[in-house]
Each structure stands twice: as structure tokens, then as C-alpha cells.
Amino acid sequence: MPPAHHSLTVRLPPATTGTALAAALTTAADLWWPGDRSRPRLWTESVPAPAASDTAAGRRAAEASRPVASGHRLRAVLLRYADELREGAAGGPDLVLTAAGAALDARSLRLVARVLRGDLAPGAVTPLAGPLPLDLRLDEETRRLASALALTVGRYEGAATVRVAVPVPARDRPPYALGALDGYAVFAADLSPGRTVADLLATEPLVPAEDERPPAAELAAAEPVASDGPAVLPTGPGTLPVPAHQVEYVRQQLMASPSNTPLSRLDPLSDAESARQLALGSRPKDPAPHRIDDVFAAQVAARPGAPALTAGSTTLSYAELDARAEMLADGLYAHGVRPGDLVGLCLPRSTDLVAAMLAVLKADAVHVPLDPEHPTDRRKRTARDAGVRLTVEDPATLTGHPPRPAAPRGKPGSPAYVIHTSGSTGRPKGVLVPHANVTALVDAVREDFGLSPEDTWTCFHSAAFDFSVWEIWGALLTGGRLVVVDHWTTRSPEDFHALLVRERVSVLSQTPSSFTQLAAADRAAPDPAGIRLVVLGGEPLDTRPLLDWFDRHPEDRCRLVNMYGITETTVHVTAATVTRREALAGSRSVGRPLPGWSVRVLDAHGRPVPTGAPGEIVVGGAGVALGYLNRPALTAERFVPDPLDPAGRRLYRSGDLGRLLPDGTLEHLGRIDDQVKVRGFRIEPGEVRHVLLEDPAVSAAAVTVAGGDGDDAAAVRIDAYVVPAPGPGEDPGAVRERAARLLPAHMVPATVTVLSALPLTANGKLDPARLPAPGTRRKPVAPAPPPAAAPGEVSPAAVLAAVWRDVLGVEAVGPDDDFWDLGGNSLYAIRIGTLARERGLPGIPLRQLYLTPTLGALSEALARKT
């Protein structure tokens, strides 16, 4: 397992001449390798700078890193400096020897240097064919250095096992033998939790297998010309995957620590480096705290007649919306709602939904959104968990009541709303968010995003999804107009696009999955949407599919911002402007923290990890919520004290994996608990998905891991689902073949299932529960042309059945088959409507498919239209 090449730089006496050195090299090469046409020659280069200068050092490094020409075993370069002949100069020229690892090892290179310096006669050196058995005994210093390197690399990579290549001598090697005789052993360090310093230092090196690739982390043989010694860290550029000074820092800790010290206590970062790392993800700002309703009142006073809220054909001005909310607040008081009470809002998307939210805040209460589209049992469970005093389902019950008495209201730090998120136990968690967090969010981005009364926003998302908090208050607290998008329009990308054009929407918020569908509708529409700002969030963004959007919406006219956020940290935490450059690079950056927010990436012990190393994303600052409603133990576990905050505020442990880059930007790497084991290997499904998305034939992808029941590890299987990109075709075999070229065998999906679209939740995120069984869908059939027969010869039911078979990929469809039971979703419904029109049937509104989901009922409904 020799290195591709390695080098040695030797300072020569000032009196050394190039002629003499070239002659010595020729004599030695003729003796060692007679008849070899690729015998080395001496190259002489002049460096117009002193030997101690940075220019000279750079030249030496460049020569040392340059590989040997193919077919050659050795290159010798004499570097002469501007000051070497000057009286009093520190030394003479440098000789840089670079050898092919398969021809000469490090000890051989030192022998060559000794011969060329004149310390050893060429005849004393004998070429010897290898290999020889290796001596796997490591001296104490080499063992400690290999341990330090492994531990440091493990912290950067988040790996529990790290392999280090350690140079070891050939056993019984003659003292002056020349060749690739020495080799490498593999120091496989186990860094699992619970391991100690003694465990690590007791690691025994192994001989690598013949076909084993050398580890990326490696030590180098000592370089003194006259003697051998313990292995050292390589010094060439790019030869070490982690900072050398951090390896040395860990080595010192290994020397000073008792043998029973857990490895988790050793840290590659010094105290100063830890402090710098904590500051890297901080955007200091102390926003002035405000209540949401106070900031809204300021907008009412400034522009009472300006349009505030549109839903369908109804538009309310700021003054009208304020008056409506005041009336509803009076009704809440009449129904017994008092400051601090929780009020459930189960209202459809309408002006009354927004007015009721504002009314609850005016009543100094806390609103709990209950999505009417959710199952009744789920809504009841959520309301019961929150302990709501009142659930508003009909705003009419809140009208016609006397004005409530004037009373002091809570401070900006008092709760404004509770949004429930899914819990690992199946019980939703209510996140309690104060007024000040929301106003701080709007204030943090107002200037950067250019938010103004000239903007028109959409409220696209469910009130039970915290993206709606950003949409509603981002518009109303900056004087803009908010357009509430009804349920059916959110399910039709074409209708939603038409709304964007009709209402002249300028600020749009979308999950990446939903935006992909909207972008497709935009491409097909005659007029592009005139949006100036798109905010993407709610799930990881794959930037490559955005290239088509940039073609139609140049970056100087429409800004795309990718925002990472969590309900527990008030919608958004970071922001990154995405340009064509990031899209081409497949960037995974979610940008820098918002002003007033902080991001730290910590290890399992709460310490900052090195720059670029993975760890848990921990969020602090203005957006951290008050905690989980009625869940003190869970709150204490996830909302932890911030040791650096003199005000005593808390941090939120996100459970997300990320890394901070040197410029302070954050990369989101998925959930920590996404890791799974496949045949003993720990993998991230996100990595498999990323490789699939790099395929030009794939526009969207999802990855699941299934099997392994009954402790049968061999049954664990990775399944992939892909949506083809327009044009390249829909061959899952080709997609898998490409993935197999980029992934190790244990990460290649066992199946690749082609879908026309990924199933999404009501919030626009991937819905894994609705993915079909892997591999059961056949390759989608291309839409057939409309029947050539005269109208009336083919029944609508027969045409519709063919459409369903093509879209859903099923062999046969009967009149009682239900579209949704066959794996249908809103995206399939859109395609069915398109194909039905192409084949001569009337258009199928999405609402109709919900009302008549079976093939027979839908056929009868269509027949009545013909």
C-alpha cells in the first residue's frame, strides 16, 4: 500500500555545484539501474529570492508535491537561491527528491540523498526486489501520534472508527537496501463511546489487504538523512486532513491523561479555538421587544385605508381588519377568555382566520391553530393537550357583544401562540412562542429583504404550520397586503400560479417540494409570475432544480432565499441567497444566522466541534421559544441554559446535524437520528438521495430504509423513489447504475421506483407514509394520443380507466377502485386531469376527484358533462 509519491528536501553545502551533483546522480543511477531508459537526471532551477523567504518555501513545497512522471522512479531538482553564494549566507541550495512510492520507499530516498551528498558510496547501496515482511511493532511515540491523528480526524468526520496509515519498516531489511521495501500498516482506531485512552493506545496495527485502498489519514516516515526515528505528521500541502497543531494538542493530552480517561474528554480545540468557534455562528443584536398587536396597531395608524388582507373577492383595509379583530376580541371576552388563556382556532383559510388570530392577541390570550383539514380525532387530541378554554369554529358566535373592559396587557415576552409539531412518541408537542420572537424575526430581515408596504404576500400554508406565522406577520407588520390562498388553490399549481399573476404577488414563501411543482406550472404558463422575493424553507433544499427557474426569472429581478428554521426557534434561523452559482454547485448551505440569532455546532458533550466538522445544531438568541406546553421534562432536555448569555437565555438543541464553515455559514446535513446501519455500516439516507439528485435524469428523490425485522440484518434494504426530469426518460435501471458508480456497495439502493411526483403532506413536505411499496410500480407508460375513432365509440369510463392505469402504474382498474387507495395524490390528480383533457374528456377539477374518488363514480360525473 505505498503512497503514489513522496519527497525529501535536503539542504546541501554552499560549495555544491550542479555539475558535480549531476555526475554523482548519473554514476549512481548507472550502477543501481543499468539499462533503464528512464534513469533520473538532475534538473536545476533558480529561485530569485532568499532561501528563507516565503517565495522559496512555496517553491520547495510546489516541487515536493509535484508527482513523478509516469514510468519514472525518481526526480531530482536542485533549487538555487539568490543569496546562497553571498558571504554569510545561512546555507547552500536545496535538493528536492521525489520518488514514486511503488519504486522507492522513504528509507531508500534517504539513502539516495546520502549518496548524492557524498556521505555514502553508491556501491554500498544495493537495489533489492520486494516486498519483505513488515515489522508491525510500533514505538510508543508513533502509536501515540497515530492515536492523536485518528481521534482528531474522528472529531472532524463524526466517525466512530478511523483508519490511519502508519509507515512501518520491512523486517530483516539489509541496512543499505534500495527499493519499495518498507510499507504501511493500518491503525484502525475504535473511538466508540465508552472507549478510554488505554483502549486507544492498545490498538494493534494490521497489514492491509492487497486490494485495500490506503486510508486518507496517514503518518510519514521520519526525514532525517542520517537516522531513522518515530513516524511524524506529513508536512506537504494537502497531505493532512486536519490541522497539524490540533493533532499535536491531542497528542499532548494523550501523554498527560490517566489511562482510564474517556476519549470523549479529549478535545482537538484549545480554549481559544473553542471561543472563536462559538463566535463564528453568532450575529449579535438585541432587538427591542414588541407585542405583535402593538406593531400591527402602528401600521393601522400609519395607513388605515391601505389594503391589508385579501381572501377571494374580499379585501379588508388595515382599519377594517383592526375593527373586525376588535369585535372578535370582545366576543372572546364575552365567552370567558381571559389573559393567558389558550384559544383554539379551527377556521378555514379566510379573512376571519387572520382576524381571529389578531383578536386572540388583542384579548391578551394565546391562539392554538387547529387545521380543519386534519382528522377530527387529531384536532380533539391537540385541543385537549393544549387545554384550550374555547375553540372557535364559527366567528359569528363572537359578534354582537359589548366592548370588553380596558385592561393592561402582557409584556412582549408573554406567549402569542402554540403550534404543535410531531413527536417521536406519537404525541404532538405544543411549542409556546412569545410575541417578541415574531416581531424580532420580522425586524431581523426587514431591511435585507426590502420588505415594505408595496409588497403583496401570500398565506399559502396551514395555520398549524409555522411557515404561516412568517407569511401572515411578515406582511401585516411591514404594511404589505396578505392574500389568503384557499384550500383548493393550494392543491393546484396552475391555479396558484394564476393567482400569483392576478394578485401581483411580490413575496412568496414555499417549501422546496411545493416550489418545484409551482416552477413547472410557471414554465408552462404564458406569463411568468412577477415575484421579486422567494423564501424557501421547511425542508432541505436541493438547489440543482432551480436552474430552470433562473432561466425564466433572472437573479437581478427575483431573489431566492433559502432559510433554515425550526418551530422551536420561531420559523427561521438562517438565510442564504441562492444564485445560479450555488445551484450549479449543488450547495447545501443554509447561510448565516439572522441578526439576533446564534448557531452553534456542538458535540454530544456540549463542546464546539472544529470548523467544518459535523455536530448538533444548537440555536440561541432572539428566536428561542418558551418551551413545550405542559412538557417540563422535554423542555428541560431540549431547551438548555446558555452558559455564554449573561441574561440567562436558553439554547435549543435541534437534533439536526450540521457544520459551520470558516465564513460562518451553516450546512444542514439532516437529522442526527437519520443514521441507519446496513450490513454493519452506518449510513445517512440523505447522502444516497443527494447522489440520486445529481443525476440529470432525476428531478426529485426520496430514500427509505426498510426490512431487518427479527434482527435479520441481511434483510435491511435501501429503497429509492425518483421523479424523472423532463426529457431524459424514466428508466430506473439507468438511475441505479449511475448510483452504483458513485456509492459503495452497501449504499446502493436495492430498488428504484419511478413516480410521477413525490407524495406531500398538507404542509408541502415529503410524506413517507404514502410512498408505494418499492418496486411495485411498473415503468410509467407514455400518454397515448387521443383515440382516432369518432366521438362516442369509446366510453368515458374506458378512456378514464386507461388514464388511471398510465398514471398510477397499475395493471387493471375496476369501477369500485378508489383513486386514493391506489396510491393517488394531489399531484397524480393534476396529471390525470391533463391526460383526460388530451384524450377528449372534460377537465377533472381536483374537488371532483375528492367528491367522486372511485372510477365508476367519476366516470358517471364526467358522462353528465359530455
CB 441 within 8 A of CB 567: no
Number of structural domains found in the chain: 5
For the chain, give the longest Cα–Cα distance.
112
Query: Cell numbers of 150, please?
Result: 485518528
Q: What is the CA radius of gyration of the chain?
A: 34
Q: Is the dihedral of CA 124, 129, 131, 133 positive or negative?
A: negative
Cα(55)–Cα(861) distance, integer angstroms: 82
Instruction: Return the number of other C-beta atoms located less than 10 Å from residue 222's C-beta.
Output: 17
Indicate whether 193 and 259 sit together in one domain.
yes
**Three-class DSSP labels, 261-296:** CEHHHCCCCCHHHHHHHHHHCECCCCCCCCCHHHHH
d(CA 316, CA 401) in angstroms, rounded, equals 21
Final residue of a structural domain among 127, 160, 190 = 127
Q: Are residues 687 and 655 in the same domain?
A: no
> pTM higher than 0.85, yes or no?
no
Note whether residue 20 is domain-resident. Answer: yes
Assess whether 649 and 752 both reside in one domain.
no
Q: Are residues 650 and 685 in the same domain?
A: no
User: Does 612 share its domain with 696?
Assistant: no
Within-domain flag for 803: yes
Query: What's the grid cell of residue 40?
Result: 533520473
Q: Are residues 648 and 707 in the same domain?
A: no
Contact 133, 123 (CB under 8 A): no
Distances (CA, A) of 827 to 435, 518, 843, 862: 37, 11, 15, 20
Q: Partners of 353 in the beta sheet?
A: none
Mean pLDDT by runs of 10 across the 866 residues of the chain is 76 88 93 87 92 90 88 93 66 90 88 93 88 87 96 91 90 88 90 94 88 83 61 81 95 96 94 91 87 98 98 96 98 96 96 98 97 80 90 95 93 96 66 97 97 97 93 98 94 92 97 86 88 91 88 93 94 95 88 95 91 94 95 94 83 93 91 58 70 86 72 60 78 77 68 88 80 59 38 70 81 79 62 75 72 83 72
**Residue that terminates a domain, selected from 770, 786, 821:** 770
CA angle 188, 193, 195 (to 5 degrees): 60
Distance CA 207, CA 424 (A): 44
Give the sign of the dihedral formed by CA 132, CA 107, CA 205, CA 189: negative
CA-nearest of 322, 268, 316 to 294 is 322
Domain final residue, candidates 617, 637, 671: 671
Asked if the structure places residue 818 within a domain, the reply is yes
Q: Are 118 and 10 within one domain? A: yes
Please check whether residues 118 and 27 belong to one and the same domain.
yes
Residues 536 and 544: their CA atoms lie apart, in Å, by 14
Domain that holds residue 757: 675-770
Whether residue 625 is contained in a domain is answered as yes
CA angle 118, 122, 127 (to 5 degrees): 140
Whether 148 and 250 map to the same domain: the answer is yes
What is the strand order of the sheet 42-47 is part of? 5-11, 94-100, 74-81, 42-47
Residues 178 and 261 in one domain: yes
pLDDT for residue 646: 74
545 cis-preceded (ω within 30 degrees of 0): no
Give yes or no: residues 826 and 758 share one domain.
Answer: no
Q: What are residue 43's DSSP bridge partners?
A: 77
Per-residue model confidence (pLDDT) at position 794: 63
CATH of the domain at 44: 3.30.559.10
The verdict on residue 586 lying in a domain is no
CATH number at residue 841: 1.10.1200.10
Angle at 615 between CA 702 and CA 595, to 5 degrees: 95
Question: What is the per-residue pLDDT for 328?
Answer: 98
Instruction: Report pLDDT for 472.
Output: 98
Whether residue 57 lies inside any domain: the answer is: yes
Looking at residue 740, which CATH number applies to its domain? 3.30.300.30
Q: What is the DSSP string of 570-598?
A: TS-SEEEEE-HHHHHHT--EEEEEPTTEE
Q: Is residue 820 part of a domain?
A: yes
* 118 and 39 both lie in a single domain: yes
Q: Residue 421: what pLDDT?
A: 83
Q: For residue 699, tell me if it sits in a domain.
A: yes
Cβ atoms 471, 459 nearer than 8 A: yes
Q: What is the CATH number of the domain that holds 640?
A: 2.30.38.10
